[in-house]
Structure 1
């Protein structure tokens, strides 16, 4: 597809009165983006219902923080293996078909959770099995979704697309956990799992309408060699490597979601569990809903680091404070910092990675995006059992800030990256207009 200046309007044409509002250009210019955005909104809503219901069910069955944190351990290996393979697969097959097949599989797993929850005595082991299989299918699907965005959205609209995708995700993250707390408390776990199953059916029907996205005629079949090519490219790009490292450090040290049920009990506020899961998304939505300013930022690496530092500081404060409303406020601030970091990570990747490597690099990105939180759940659960719930939260926040600061010092190319002059950004921009 050939893009013109009319297709790809510069940020300076945005009216000043709307400078802070999200840029809706990707929504207006791409039918496939609208379909993908809507399907993602629906399925993410259901997935967040299960995100609350699953650890809560394990807590009810075991009463152990370590058992809840073990969710991250069982998800880790499938995510690594299938995330890397899914990236190579996304460069070698029709990405639309891959999205459809994995969405169907995820729906079947939601059905298994529903059936297990309806048993007179629900079993524990299927919860871990489903968590592992869900992680594997997510690893296969996510690179295809990430890689297809740059094909269906003009180059100059990729920051706006990232902000809109983040807004979609966070709206689900607010509504899903908040509703899950009410649903589980008053209607039980089966309804939460049943609603998740329904959302997969709806999103699958929407994905059916996406335009086919076949691979290039000379695409390399998925293999260890293909994965290695992507890894070597990422290693050469130290600014890309830096975004992966910052994200993994922030999530490993300061992602305490797995122990939120115990934190709510410690604060004598079990009613606030759903709000804890949703609070970070509130902060993220504020950033996404006022993201018009992001088009004027060109040093994306610095913003990745700054956002991660805010995330860590806010988590440290959340662990220290004993007032539940102040804790919720800190979690919201943390979510805003994470959104800033994630938005500029996504922009840096999408605006500089060659089309033939997008799937494989998205697979590597998935490892930094999702492996960090999985390891973070294990860390948070283990630390909570050792030093206490609140100490696990605040110490993780402090460690996050320290590690992010060290990475900023160790990776000068990340801090000096400028989208206006970077050779990779210029090459990708030229490729979309040729």
Structure 2
């Protein structure tokens, strides 16, 4: 990072790795294509390869659980309750898991948690094939799975900075985010195709088998103990609180979280997709309209990842986040004002591209601006923000849509995102000044 523009109090004293063998500039079409430099590093390649498998496999379970609950109860209310049952353990264990990831070998933590997730998927399969038909058992297993995921995600994300140099962090995040977004598109489609062929229970088994590949890949990673060399301390509430204090002291970290909260809470309109599909775009067929609305943002995100060579080498990471959030808000506002389904989908695709850019550079900032002993806790908070923001948006947009109308709520939320992000960037210069 450029210390002439950014003080240590704003960015944190993170290590400044450089790749001594960095190649020259890519020319022609290659500068537009995804930056694959991190894949030349065997350890990162193993971690990324495991993500390909789990990105699709996890979506099979994500489809199977609500489908099974609905088949048992015939009630969407129970499906919603199950989602909330998984949210609380995810929040609690992501915060604690971030602290744990800062106190022990992250490779060991990844092994333990991936095995735990695999066993949970196997238990999902057992309850399905035995015909248990217990919503309570499903919700308990979902809570257990989300707890393991909360412990796993901070360690996985924090490990990236130990596997690639600083100047490849944005590219590594683009690679990982693209795979995850692709899984959100391919996984549900694959689940829908497999359920009539192999049955619901087998989706859990496929996920469990896929996780064995992940465990093998993690086993081959190098040891990732704390860099401080200090005696291992217990990860408790004091360490979690210390993580929040660290965020408060380093404004660029605080703003990276606030940027995502602004974008997701004020500008994620997915709760209004069913209403808009039924009222605004019914002429195209309500089912088609709803499917396109839900698919558009992930499709845009995947497209942004595929062509991430256009931005992954940028050095002004703060400005990239600010610009991406502003474009996201403007695109959501445009979506809300669109009377044409295809124009609405186009705006959502643009929003998906902007979301990918924001995700890539917020992740890079969290990894490069924090010290290694704090990276796990930063990723724990990141996991909570990413998981909780859209759920809060569902509540906010649902209420606003009922009170003011769906289009007005969506367009107003998008404009609020633009205003709030520009106000934050103007009031606190740390994010504008930050560069790698």
Q: Same fold (TM over 0.5)?
A: yes
Within the alignment, does 1:230 sit opposite 2:243 as a pair?
A: yes
Aligned match for 2:300, one of 283, 293, 297: 283
SS at match of 2:20: coil
Deviations 1:369-403 (A, max 9, x none): 22213333444566677777777655554544444
Mapped partners of 2:60, 2:424: distance in 1? 35
Mapped partners of 2:176, 2:404: distance in 1? 38
**In the alignment, what sits opposite 1:241?**
254
Q: Count matched residues.
A: 415
**In the alignment, what sits opposite 1:352?**
369
Mapped partners of 1:362, 1:326: distance in 2? 36
Mapped partners of 1:274, 1:104: distance in 2? 34
Q: Which moved more, 1:115-124 or 1:137-146?
A: 115-124
SS at match of 2:221: coil
CA distance 1:282–1:400, shift in 2 (3 Å): same
SS at match of 1:215: coil
C-alpha contact (below 8 Å) 2:167/2:313 kept by paired residues: no
C-alpha contact (below 8 Å) 2:16/2:166 kept by paired residues: no
Q: Which moved more, 1:375-384 or 1:137-146?
A: 375-384
**In the alignment, what sits opposite 1:309?**
326
**In the alignment, what sits opposite 2:158?**
147
C-alpha contact (below 8 Å) 1:283/1:336 kept by paired residues: yes
Within the alignment, does 1:22 sit opposite 2:39 as a pair?
A: no
Q: CA deviation at 1:298?
A: 2.7
**In the alignment, what sits opposite 2:61?**
50
**In the alignment, what sits opposite 2:107?**
96
Mapped partners of 1:225, 1:325: distance in 2? 51
Deviations 1:89-124 (A, max 9, x none): 111111111111111222233234434555668443
Structure 2 gap segments, 5+ residues each:
1-14
Aligned match for 1:294, one of 282, 294, 311: 311
Q: CA deviation at 1:3?
A: 6.9
C-alpha contact (below 8 Å) 1:22/1:288 kept by paired residues: yes
**In the alignment, what sits opposite 1:331?**
348
Q: CA deviation at 1:59?
A: 5.4
Aligned match for 1:31, one of 42, 64, 69: 42
SS at match of 1:222: coil
Mapped partners of 1:278, 1:186: distance in 2? 24
**TM-score of the superposition, structure 2-length normalised?**
0.82
RMSD: 3.3
Correspondences of 1:195-274 after superposition (within 5 Å): 195-216=206-227, 217-218=229-230, 219-257=232-270, 267=282, 268-270=285-287
Mapped partners of 2:209, 2:199: distance in 1? 16
Correspondences of 1:321-400 after superposition (within 5 Å): 321=338, 324-379=341-396, 396-400=413-417
Mapped partners of 1:358, 1:124: distance in 2? 37
Mapped partners of 1:387, 1:116: distance in 2? 44
